Amino acid sequence: MKIQSRACAKVNLFLEVIKKREDGYHDICGVFQTIPIADEVEVTAHSRKGDLKVTMKGMDLPQEANTAGKAARLFLDTYGIKQEIEIHIVKHIPLAGGLGGSSADAAAVVNNLGLLFKIPLEKEFIEKLAFVGADIPFMLTGGTALVEGMGERVTPLFSHLDLPLVIGYPGVKVDSGWAYGAASFLLTENPKTCTILLRCLKDKSWDALNDALFNRFEHVVFGAYPQISRLKSDFLENGARAALMSGSGSCVFGIFDTEDEARAAVQTMQEKWDWIKLVAASK
């Protein structure tokens, strides 16, 4: 039995770190949106008994350290599956770029396993997946959503950002553990709220969009990696209505009013940056 699927990336339109929890993880408040940059995921279940095997193209990482492998192991152990499982992933989402690629892969893997073995993914199991990768519960839902807790509380939104996006990857890998540790020093008792952004999305009113977008990680990441800050500035200088770093970095996205403006920015920015792509948000 075999299933092939796409694992779509995401951008964070809003990301606030609320507090550090006693277990060492962090509570967040975020607005996440799927984008159609995707990895290819293939899951094969053999009839014979055996172990889990994970292979990847475009990424060199031991399967025991890989989020998709960890999520698959949790599924197999939780539901008592003893059959040999092979997972093959072809990477297209930039590594350590804040687009949630590893969590997207993990979500696709457990979803495929659930389909192969006809096992619905239970709420308790999905909450456990948040400890494997905080973005996995959202990736199982996709679309546009308000994400809270450590990532396990996902509330789908009925509005999404439907303006053209351009994504830039500056070739820098940002360690999310380092970013969370650094951002912890910036936490306040009055965290920012996403109220204005939610209103912008609901009303399709983009005048306040640049002020509504927020990412708590930008300050510390820009200080350590000034080229990421320069990438954001380049988006704004090339006509973006708004721009923001996604997740803990290093990808930055620019939001444009028209596709023609977005394509013009891509053409200009490709002269300076190796990885610049025009994408449309997934509904």
Known catalytic residues? 10, 135
Distance (Å, rounded) from C-alpha 78 to C-alpha 115? 15
Distance (Å, rounded) from C-alpha 129 to C-alpha 71? 7
The tokens for 126 are 């999905």
- Give the β-pairing of 214-215 and 2-20: parallel
The tokens for 169 are 């990857």
Of 120, 107, 240, give the one whose Cα is nearest residue 168: 240
Element spanning 185, H or E: none
The tokens for 83 are 């059959």
Alpha helices per DSSP H over 204-240: 209-212, 218-224, 226-237
In the DSSP assignment, the letter for residue 97 is: S
40, 90 contact by CB (below 8 A):
yes
72, 85 contact by CB (below 8 A):
yes
In the DSSP assignment, the letter for residue 94 is: P
